[in-house]
Amino acid sequence: MEPVDTLISARWVLPVEPDGRVLEDHAVAIRNGRIVAVLPSADAHVRYAPQESIQRPSHVLMPGLVNAHTHAAMVLLRGRAENLRLGPWLRDGVWPLERRWVDPEYVRDGTELAIAELVRGGVTCFADMHLWPEVVARTAAEVHMRASVGLVVTEAATGWAATADEYIDRGMRLRDEYRGDPLVSTHFAPHAPYSVSDATLARVRRLADELDLPVALHVHETAWEIEQSEQKFGRRPLARLASLGLASPQLVAIHMTQLEAQDLDTLAGSGASVVHCPESNLKLGAGVCPLPSLLGRGVRVALGTDGAASNNDLDILGEARTAGLLASGISATPGSLIASDLLRMATLEGARTLGLGETTGSLVAGKWADLCCIDLQQPRTWPVNDVHAAVIYGASSSQVTDTWVAGRRLMADRALVYLDEAAVLERAESWRRRFENSRVEAASDD
């Protein structure tokens, strides 16, 4: 018998590749952090001698979910700026708190809390956009989480960098530090067209072309953004990016709620990807990304949560469900986007958007063993007549029992392995007390 590290047997396996396939009573064999084979359980137990054998008789085993856009540390601001549109939410709610409080300690504690939530929800990879990205990278690596860390770029001075060139230079040093790392990758993360100059965007494009890195930024998130761009630059934000050479397969356009025919043409013709964040867009009243139109033109679409300050969670299963319901509601055609399509967006398309599709996002021999297990024998998902529908439209993230990244089990039987959850929660509570005490002191000074 052939030795392997782990053999996981499940009632159902959803490999994502090939599309829509459901494998009953199958197993995944893992060695040195990578998938060796996906095969019937009966055959697997004859062929392999595992160091660890895991049986999941009422579960679905599938690729780990990919959160293709978030601001992880913003979990500490969850509920701090409610019931506001994006502009006031940023100017009056979020940015004042961040100017006062964001530092390496804040980013570390917030990122740990976010990773705890992500792992519990079956997420094995997240794309982050936050200051102190080196802290995000180090925190993810320490707990064996896969992360695509955004190299933040903006013109605004912060505690991390004073100028756009300093943001880029510091980002390049971080990229060099983690080049070739098995868990931590990087991408450029200019905040948005309205906060980055033409000269800075041009430099980002040149470096992205040279290093073959994705460029992710908030684009066409609100009607205000469109109006400001037309007034200042005489063109829509996406058209401006195209004029600077940024409309390419490296572009990751986040949100895209304000689309016209020419924008669809640009996206489809350039090979750019879109990250759909439906719940954040709905909560902020920003609009709705026209998912069926994008997919109809062959545009790759992944799913993200945005930050928990605007969502208020990091639940990719929930985002997939909302995306599907919105697509059916907007098109007035039930099933315009089927559950297996949504699962693909939440896994493989997210990995491909981040430049990781060759190594994760589906259960294929040779890829990293990034997986999650969901117990479907629960009242909200039983009986199972359609496995994909049970996962996307029925399952809750609380039904995730196990999560693996590169063959390491980060959650085992609903218990986090590499994070001290009680300590993480206590540090988060200490930040809430700091925020509250500061608010009370400010009120008393007035």
Statement: residue 78 has pLDDT above 60: yes
- The pLDDT, as a whole number, for residue 83 is 81
Statement: residue 442 has pLDDT above 80: no
Statement: residue 89 has pLDDT above 80: no
Mean pLDDT of 25-52: 98
Tell whether 86 and 186 lie within a shared domain: yes
Mean pLDDT of 78-83: 84
User: For 128-168, what is each residue's pLDDT tens digit?
Assistant: 999 999 999 999 999 999 999 999 999 999 999 999 999 99
Q: Determine the Cα–Cα distance for residues 252 and 246; give it in Å rounded to an integer.
A: 10
**What CATH number corresponds to the domain at position 179?**
3.20.20.140
Cis peptide before 311 (omega within 30 of 0): no
Mean pLDDT of 18-27: 94
Tell whether 59 and 69 lie within a shared domain: no
Q: In this prediction, what percent of the chain has a pLDDT beyond 70?
A: 98
User: For 347-402, what is each residue's pLDDT tens digit?
Assistant: 999 999 999 999 999 999 999 999 999 999 999 999 999 999 999 999 999 999 99
- The pLDDT, as a whole number, for residue 100 is 84
Within a domain: 159: yes
- The pLDDT, as a whole number, for residue 441 is 57
Statement: residue 444 has pLDDT above 60: no
Tell whether 331 and 283 lie within a shared domain: yes
C-alpha separations of 43 from 1, 35, 367 in Å? 11, 16, 21
Within a domain: 436: no
- The pLDDT, as a whole number, for residue 400 is 98
Residue ending a domain, choose from 333, 353, 373: 353
Q: How many CB atoms lie within 10 A of CB 248?
A: 15
Q: Using 50, 70 and 90 to split pLDDT, how confident is the model at 438?
A: confident
How many CA atoms does the CB half-sphere of 397 hold within 13 Å? 20
- Please report the beta strands in 146-283, taking only residues with DSSP state E, as ranges in sequence order: 146-153, 184-190, 215-219, 251-255, 273-276
- The pLDDT, as a whole number, for residue 229 is 95
Tell whether 282 and 227 lie within a shared domain: yes
**What CATH number corresponds to the domain at position 14?**
2.30.40.10
- The pLDDT, as a whole number, for residue 446 is 53
Tell whether 30 and 114 lie within a shared domain: no
Statement: residue 439 has pLDDT above 80: no
Tell whether 266 and 380 lie within a shared domain: no
Within a domain: 309: yes
Please state, rounded to an integer, the average pLDDT across all residues of the chain: 94
Statement: residue 98 has pLDDT above 90: no
Q: Using 50, 70 and 90 to split pLDDT, how confident is the model at 332?
A: low
- The pLDDT, as a whole number, for residue 56 is 98
Statement: residue 85 has pLDDT above 90: no
Instruction: State which residues form the domain around 84.
Output: 65-353
Within a domain: 320: yes
Pairing of β 65-70 and β 48-63: unpaired
- The pLDDT, as a whole number, for residue 437 is 82
Within a domain: 443: no
Tell whether 115 and 204 lie within a shared domain: yes
Within a domain: 358: no
> Counting Cβ atoms within 10 Å, is residue 56 exposed (0-12), middle (13-18) or buried (19+)?
buried
Q: Using 50, 70 and 90 to split pLDDT, how confident is the model at 209?
A: very high
Q: In this prediction, what percent of the chain has a pLDDT beyond 90?
A: 88
* H or E stretch at 107: helix 104-120
Tell whether 158 and 247 lie within a shared domain: yes
Tell whether 384 and 298 lie within a shared domain: no
Tell whether 127 and 257 lie within a shared domain: yes
- The pLDDT, as a whole number, for residue 80 is 83
Mean pLDDT of 114-133: 98
Q: How many CB atoms lie within 10 A of CB 237?
A: 25
Q: Determine the Cα–Cα distance for residues 139 and 151; give it in Å rounded to an integer.
A: 16
Mean pLDDT of 405-420: 98
Tell whether 92 and 131 lie within a shared domain: yes
Within a domain: 422: no
Tell whether 151 and 272 lie within a shared domain: yes
- The pLDDT, as a whole number, for residue 436 is 86
Within a domain: 323: yes
Statement: residue 445 has pLDDT above 80: no
- The pLDDT, as a whole number, for residue 92 is 80
Number of domains observed in the structure of the chain: 2
* H or E stretch at 358: none
- The pLDDT, as a whole number, for residue 392 is 97
